Structure 1
Amino acid sequence: MRADRLVSLVLLLRQRGRLSATALARELEVSTRTVLRDIEALSAAGVPVHAERGRHGGFALLPGFRTELTGLNHDEALALLVAGSRRGAQAFGLGSALASAMLKVVDALPESQRDTAAGVAERLLIDPESDLLSRRLVAEEVPDPVAAEVRRAVFAGHKLRIHYAAVGRTPEWRTVDPIGLVTVREQGYLLATRSGADRTYRLSRILAAEELAEPAERPDRVDLDRAWQERSTRFRTGGDQVTALVRVDPARREALVGTALAVLAEEADADGRLRLEVTFQDPRHAEWALWQLATNAEALAPQWLRTALRDRAAAIATRYAATS
């Protein structure tokens, strides 16, 4: 909304001083023409914003134009700034709202705390976009209209109609009773019930959503953490799960455990390698996980998994065989 954008524009100028129209447009994710119109609107409303000409010119506020709120101490503000660096809000379509809120938090601090808190926050990085091996962590994208409609239904306690594309199935409409939203490793989920049965929907697979006027059939209070754990347990123990016996280099144990659903047993062999009994979601998952570990792990059982890995390795070897 334009009112929110105008507030964000003022806060940017307060905190960063002089900024060009191009810089403001980039921060606000609008065109420079829109920024110029917003500047005119602020001036007409009595906000003392003025243009500074020249090569390093831009827009700035007159010195002293600000208000202070002393309700937050240094550590409280720092906690909010660190929380604002997390990308979980993106999964719920709240990324822009969170960025705007962080601007307001910083602006609300007294002068003596504002620079210190912002400087300390710059030295804390939570959940970067890639790990040390430059493997990019890809966050799922949920269209803003879908995320907003789902949020409204969850918060208002209304039934929700969603057009959902389950894996391997034709998308279809269904009406659910929303319970809550969960984000795990950049993936957002809607916890709901349908005809009284628990259901969990990936937000990125909701193609369209419509909040209905009818109240949702759900308890007044909910323990989302407990509900998530219960559904996670059911997920891990259902479907076409595979149990495999794997020998793995101790240095790669965490990589194996991180991809498996569960570790059922573990012991050390005489040569120092670890022998683990682990479960995977399905045969494809098991083959993929063991292939990632290359020679650092060996599937001892079942035989079909050993055969699948051998055939894959043979195909790769054939592809890269020396040609005469």
Structure 2
Amino acid sequence: MRADRLVSLVLLLRRHGRLSAAALARELEVSTRTVLRDIEALSTAGVPVYAERGRHGGFALLPGFQTELTGLNHDEALALLVAGSRRGGQTFGLGAALASAMRKVVDALPEGQRSTAAGAVQRLLIEPEADLLARRLVIEEVPDAIVAEVRRAVFAGHRLRIHYAAVDQPPKWRTVDPIGLVTARDHGYLLATRSGANRTYRLSRISAAEELAEPAQRPDRVDLDRVWQDRSTRFRTDGDQVTVLARVNPARRAELVGTALAVLAEESDADGQLRLEVTFQDSRHAEWALWQLGTNAEVLTPQWLRTALYDRAAAIVASYGVPS
């Protein structure tokens, strides 16, 4: 751990030229006392780091000092920098490690390509925090200590005890066999088995975790993408599904189909509207999806959904009152 931090310290000084002990401490997420000890260790090891006194002083490397990081061409480094701009590292508690890795990637580039790569990354945006309608993504915060414990059990192949709160249930301890970690729409999930049955746990609902010494009962190899697809399919096809028949403005078809589980039938009416028969996970899913379309959709059946949408609209009208 300290060796990685020392390398990161050198890379920070190479990139910025001169930094104060306080600035280095913020970047490395340690105390200034630790930074001073690391500076002394680097000097003892022969790294030419020196202190500049005064108001704008700090620590710097002698001009021309070069670390040896090779084997990465410009496009490979750019691909890693772009991948590092996504939030998966934060979801799995690897934010600090990701920042350190990105500093090493930048340092690996030849001098003339560093500014080019940095400028290119500024021209690419991966999964922004808000869409074109200004709807912000809800990013779940999971304590690093919990994520680290879960991650260790997954990588080591050990059983895991988690204090988990399922939906509408009080939290309780469970012992599981971890298979892998998945991030989807900025939510983290633990894929596991419990007593031989497949289980999926949302990381944000784990309040405590403990890696056990006992080996996990799981296969040596796993196709995590296939496992996730299979569980997603079972999730969509289980539960109290609802079938809805609706007339929809063709311009909003993609929006409705995109949130539905399946399209059972589709035809055009004489007035150009589409008549769609679609299924949803449950009643709440159906009501939410049709409400998003406003006057661009009319539910024909079932009657209870028509009533629910009418009640929603009536409540809004009542809250504004009759215009004078």
TM-score by length of 1: 0.90
CA contact (8 A) 1:245 1:278 kept: yes
For the structure 1 residues 268 and 254, does the alpha-carbon distance in structure 2 shift closer, same or farther, using more than 3 Å as the test? same
Deviation at 1:106, TM superposition (A): 1.1
Q: 2: distance between equivalents of 1:74 and 1:231?
A: 38
1:285 matched to which residue of 2?
Answer: 285
CA shift in 2, pair 1:273/1:3, >3 Å: farther
Aligned twin of 2:51: 50
**CA 1:252 to 1:19, structure 2 compared with 1: closer, same or farther past 3 Å?**
farther
Instruction: For 1:271-310, list aligned pairs within 5 A.
Output: 271-310=271-310
In 2, the alpha carbon distance for the partners of 1:8 and 1:264 equals 56
1:285 Cα deviation (Å)?
1.9
Work out the CA distance in 1 between the residues paired with 2:20 and 2:249: 55
Kindly, what percent of the aligned residue pairs are identical?
78
> Structure 1 residues 49, 227: CA separation in 2 closer, same or farther (over 3 Å shift)?
same
Q: 1:12 to 1:268 in 2, by over 3 A?
A: farther
Q: Which residue of 2 aligns with 1:163?
A: 163
Tell me what 1:311 maps to.
311
Partners of 1:62 and 1:36 lie apart in 2 by 22
Identify which of 9, 34, 38 aligns with 2:35: 38
Distance 1:171 1:8 in 2: 40
Secondary structure of 1:45 counterpart: helix
What residue identity is the alignment partner of 1:129?
A: E
Distance of 2:128 and 2:191 partners within structure 1: 27
Query: What letter is aligned with 1:128?
Result: P
Moved more, 305-314 or 37-46: 37-46
1:237-272 Cα offsets, whole Å, 9 max, x none, are: 111222212222232223223332333333333333
Report the alpha carbon displacement of residue 87 of structure 1 after superposing the two structures with TM: 0.8
C-alpha contact (below 8 Å) 2:24/2:35 kept by paired residues:
no
Tell me what 1:135 maps to: 135
Q: How many Å apart are 1:25 and its aligned residue? A: 4.8
C-alpha distance in 1, partners of 2:34/2:220?
A: 46
CA distance in structure 2 between the aligned counterparts of 1:216 and 1:154, rounded to whole angstroms: 9
Counterpart check, 1:219 vs 2:216: no
Question: 3-state SS of the aligned residue for 2:18?
Answer: coil
Task: Extract unaligned runs of 5+ from structure 2.
Answer: none
Partner of 2:114: 114
Cα distance in 2 for partners of 1:296, 1:52 equals 68
In angstroms, what is the RMSD of aligned CA positions?
2.2
Question: What is the CA distance between 1:302 and its match in structure 2?
Answer: 1.0
The 1:119–1:266 alpha-carbon spacing in structure 2 relative to 1, beyond 3 Å, is: same
Structure 2 Cα separation of the partners of residues 25 and 252 of structure 1:
52
> What is the CA-CA distance between 1:213 and the residue it aligns to?
0.8
Partner letter of residue 236 of structure 2? R
What pairs with 1:1-324 in structure 2 (closer than 5 Å)? 3-20=3-20, 23-29=23-29, 34-35=31-32, 37-39=34-36, 41-43=38-40, 45-46=42-43, 47=47, 48-51=49-52, 53-54=54-55, 58-322=58-322
SS of residue matched to 1:127: coil
Question: Which 4+ residue blocks in structure 1 deviate beyond 6 angstroms?
Answer: none
Task: State the AA in 2 paired with 1:182.
Answer: V
Number of residue pairs matched by the alignment: 320
**3-state SS, counterpart of residue 159 of structure 1:** strand
Q: Following the alignment from structure 2 to structure 1, what is the Cα–Cα distance between the partners of residues 208 and 299? A: 42
For 1:15-59, what per-residue CA distance to the aligned partner results, in whole angstroms no more than 9, with x for missing partners? 1323455654554445xxx236514531453141423634x5554
Contact 1:68 1:109 in 2 (8 A): no
Distance of 1:195 and 1:244 partners within structure 2: 38
The normalised TM-score by structure 2 is 0.90
Instruction: Rate the CA distance shift 1:287–1:81 in 2: closer, same or farther, 3 A.
Output: same
The aligned amino acid for 2:193 is T
Matches of 1:98 and 1:316, distance apart in 2: 47
Describe the shift of the 1:99–1:193 C-alpha distance in structure 2 as closer, same or farther (beyond 3 A).
Answer: same
Q: What amino acid does structure 2 have at the position aligned with 1:11?
A: L
Q: CA deviation at 1:180?
A: 1.0
Opposite residue 35 of structure 1, the aligned amino acid is: T
Q: Is the 8 A contact 2:162 2:208 kept in 1?
A: yes
SS at match of 1:265: strand
